[in-house]
């Protein structure tokens, strides 16, 4: 899984600050597509990137034993920062390439189809521009929303977030219980929710 820090930095640089060739390319005349579809497609790419492991998070145990004497704390910190910057650059590059090469083609196809339909209707210029803008916004937004839904379904991201929130809640409850009632003795099993409900029913 790509590091959340690197992915957050890539989203900040690319989508928020606009450090991207795609946004520079959009300023050229002829690209009248709204940004809603591009943002939804960027969310699709971000959802895919969070499910991909760009670099291994940890070495195997044998490799740890082999390289333990050759790597110090400074080297580990430097390599982690280098990996973080490299992952951020890779995420920015993937976002830029997919938006420029793939999403821009989708926008162009939608715009060509909408302009062809509106030219056949022979409407006024102001009405033509307004209909083109809102039709393109609706079409690209719908395509981006469908792609985002398919990506979330394929990567099971909502379920992962739900499980992560449950794990955080359990760990927080465990830490609060240890602070209030003291730490558990070694070897004492932690009662599960099923065991607690069975004990309360027996009592």
Same structural domain for residues 131 and 193?
no
Task: Please give the residue range of the domain that contains residue 195.
Answer: 158-203
Give how far Cα 149 sits from Cα of 36, 140, 142, 182, 183, Å.
15, 14, 11, 45, 44
Same structural domain for residues 168 and 148?
no
Same structural domain for residues 83 and 104?
yes
pLDDT value, residue 203 = 47
Indicate the average pLDDT of the chain. Answer: 75
Burial 49-62 (b: 16+ CB within 10 A, else e): bbeeebeeeeeeee
Same structural domain for residues 92 and 48?
yes
Q: How far apart are CA 177 and CA 187, in angstroms?
A: 17
pLDDT value, residue 70 = 44
Q: How far apart are CA 65 and CA 87, in angstroms?
A: 26
Same structural domain for residues 90 and 183?
no
Q: How far apart are CA 20 and CA 41, in angstroms?
A: 15
35-51: pLDDT as tens digits? 888 899 999 999 888 88
pLDDT value, residue 147 = 92
Same structural domain for residues 29 and 95?
yes
pLDDT value, residue 145 = 93
Phi, psi of 150 (to 5 degrees): -65, -40
Contact 2, 52 (CB under 8 A): yes
Contact 20, 94 (CB under 8 A): no
Taking 50 as the threshold, does the pLDDT of residue 67 lie above it?
Answer: no
pLDDT value, residue 63 = 46
Same structural domain for residues 10 and 75?
yes
Q: Give the number of other Cβ atoms within 10 Å of residue 48's Cβ.
A: 16
183-202: pLDDT as tens digits? 655 555 544 444 444 444 44
pLDDT value, residue 29 = 56
pTM of the prediction? 0.68
pLDDT value, residue 201 = 40
Taking 70 as the threshold, does the pLDDT of residue 62 lie above it?
Answer: no
Same structural domain for residues 105 and 190?
no
Same structural domain for residues 26 and 114?
yes
- Domains in the chain, number: 2
Average pLDDT over residues 165-171: 75
93-134: pLDDT as tens digits? 999 999 989 998 998 899 899 888 888 887 788 888 888 889
Same structural domain for residues 66 and 105?
yes
pLDDT value, residue 140 = 92
Same structural domain for residues 87 and 145?
yes
Same structural domain for residues 168 and 143?
no
Q: Of 153, 137, 186, 154, nearest to 33 (Cα)?
A: 137
């Amino acid at each position: 899984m790509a590091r959340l820090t690197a992915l957050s930095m890539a989203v900040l640089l690319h989508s928020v600050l606009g450090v991207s060739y795609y946004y520079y390319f959009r300023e050229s005349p002829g690209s009248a597509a709204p940004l809603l579809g591009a943002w939804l497609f960027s969310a699709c790419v971000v959802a895919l990137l969070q499910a991909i492991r760009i670099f291994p998070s940890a070495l195997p145990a044998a490799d740890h034993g082999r390289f333990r004497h050759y790597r110090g704390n400074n080297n580990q910190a430097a390599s982690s920062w280098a990996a973080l910057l490299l992952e951020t650059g890779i995420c920015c590059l993937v976002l830029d390439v997919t938006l420029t090469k793939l999403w821009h083609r989708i926008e162009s196809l939608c715009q060509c189809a909408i302009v062809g339909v509106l030219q056949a209707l022979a409407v006024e210029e102001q009405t033509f521009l307004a209909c083109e803008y809102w039709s393109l916004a609706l079409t690209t937004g719908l395509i981006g929303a469908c792609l985002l839904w398919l990506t979330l379904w394929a990567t099971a991201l909502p379920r992962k977030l739900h499980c992560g929130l449950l794990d955080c809640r359990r760990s927080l409850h465990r830490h609060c219980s240890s602070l209030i009632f003291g730490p558990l003795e070694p070897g004492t099993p932690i009662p599960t929710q099923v065991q607690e409900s069975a004990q309360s029913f027996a009592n």
